[in-house]
Structure 1
Amino acid sequence: MSKRTMSRRPATSILRQRAAVVAAGFGVSAALGAGVAFAADSAQGALPSVSAASIEAQATAQAKAADSAKQAAAKAKQAAAKAKQDAVKKAASWIDPVKNYTLSAGYAQGGSMWSTGKHSGQDFAVPVGTNVMAVHGGTVVKTGGNGAGDGPAYGNAVVIKHGNGTYSQYAHLSRVDVHVGQSVTTGQHIAQSGNTGNSSGPHLHFEIRTTPNYGSAVNPVSFMHSKGVHV
């Protein structure tokens, strides 16, 4: 065998080895590429599922929020309707002119304290400064000293005209907090009780009248009983 022939064999072998290595490299690259492509395809396939779940969660949250808002609106509507009913009921109601009282002199009671010999109203014994309230909604028609025009025996007084054509009078007041022409509601503060005028002690003198003036009083206890107020 010649030297030339021997030198060719190693070269051919080396070339073959290199070709095999290159081929193997291509195989690995192809395999890696396929793996990356598969992973990408897998990731892309998973995205729609995650997105759908997120959208579903958002839709559920929005539906709950809308339902809560609807319930809140319904409750607010019910509360407004109840407040309106309460206001109407209150406007139609009658109440005592003071709280925490003791009844003293009654209607038509005789005595030297009354100019006519008969007491024209109902007295509520309370401390000076007690809150005096309108027994019913109406309009203030008389206020001031000298019994608001009915005489000094009443001291400071207030007269309110009511929608049913009756009048309520409050006398012996220490302070008047309303003025003529003012509209008042049931239970509204109008004055403070006192001991002014012809009074034997701190109390509120209360009358129900058929006119704004002295001499037209009716039994206030019977009248208030007819309105559901048990004095």
Structure 2
Amino acid sequence: MSKRATFQHSRRPSVSRVRGAVVAAGLGTTMVLGAGAAFAAGAAASAPDAASLVVNTAAAESVAKQATVQGKAAQVAKQAVAKKAAEAKKAAKKAANLATSWEAPVSHYQLSASFGNDGSRWAHKHSGQDFAVPIGTRVEAAHSGVVVKAGPNGGGDGPAYGNAIVIKHSNGMYSQYAHLSQIDVRIGQAVQTGEKIALSGNTGNSSGPHLHFEIRHTANYGSAVNPVMFLQKEGVTV
């Protein structure tokens, strides 16, 4: 064989070497593509986790806000209940005080004839305390109780009293209001301390507009006690 032929033969790559290079190149490409695919797959796999994290965070914030709103609503409701309880307690206390308290039957008055006075104006000694007030003055129950007399002719005690009212009280005593121009209660009606029961007048045996007020042991004339002294014992000064 000539030298030329030998040289040409030595420069030609062998079939096996070419095949090896092709295989190596293929493997490299595969590895690169595989790595890219793996990265893409990992990114795709991680995407749902991120979305879930956002959703879960938003849900948690919503729950927290709802809990805050509910907490405030519960606090407001609790305060409202406490306020109503305090108001109910105050009302009950006021009612209890009214049930046990006494007061003068009229306001802005002048005392005139007193208990025990005598003279030509009365057949017997004066049986009550007179409060000089204009006709139409508001007359109030001096204490809570039940009306047992109400009407003309002294409510049954005689014409000298004119229009009159008698109230029975829980302590067994009675209060009487006479010479009225108007009666605003009826027999059997329950009244409270300070409740309007009539308007003052000048009816019956009266020398001028005034309210005749008595405190009695019974509902009837003849059982009266000094009303001013009785009210003083109950803490009322007239």
Q: Which moved more, 1:78-87 or 1:213-222?
A: 78-87
Deviation of 1:122 (Å):
0.6
Q: Which amino acid aligns with 2:221?
A: Y
Q: For the pair shown, which has the larger CA radius of gyration, 1 or 2?
A: 2
Quote the residue 2:76 is aligned against: 68
Q: In 2, Cα distance between the equivalents of 1:148 and 1:220?
A: 19
Q: Which residue of 2 aligns with 1:160?
A: 167
Percent identical among aligned pairs is 60
Q: Who is 1:104 aligned against?
A: 112
Aligned equivalent of 1:79, options 82, 87, 96: 87
Q: How many residues align?
A: 203
Counterparts of 1:145 and 1:53, CA distance in 2: 78
TM-score (norm. length: structure 1) = 0.79
Q: Which runs of 5+ in 1 are unaligned?
A: 1-25
- Whole-angstrom distance in 2 between the partners of 1:149 and 1:78: 45
Does residue 132 in structure 1 map to residue 149 in structure 2?
Answer: no
User: Any unmatched runs of 5+ in structure 2?
Assistant: 1-32
| TM-superposed deviation, 1:202 | 0.9
Please give the secondary structure, in 2, of the residue aligned with 1:230: coil
Does residue 211 of the first structure (1) align with residue 235 of the second (2)? no
Using the alignment, how far apart are the partners of 1:130 and 1:87 within structure 2? 25
Query: Paired residue for 1:95?
Result: 103
Is it true that 1:221 corresponds to 2:219 in the alignment? no
> What secondary structure, in the 3-state scheme, does the structure 2 residue paired with 1:107 have?
coil
- The corresponding residue for 1:180 is 187
C-alpha separation in 1, matches of 2:42 and 2:110? 101
Distance 1:39 1:176 in 2: 90
Distance between the aligned counterparts of 1:177 and 1:184, measured in 2? 11
Question: In angstroms, what is the RMSD of aligned CA positions?
Answer: 2.3
Shift of 1:96: 1.0
Where do residues 16-55 of structure 1 align in structure 2 (5 Å cutoff)? 42-55=50-63
Q: Work out which of the residue numbers 56, 65, 68 in structure 2 matches 1:57.
A: 65
Q: How far has the Cα of 1:46 moved from its partner?
A: 2.1
In the alignment, what sits opposite 2:207?
200
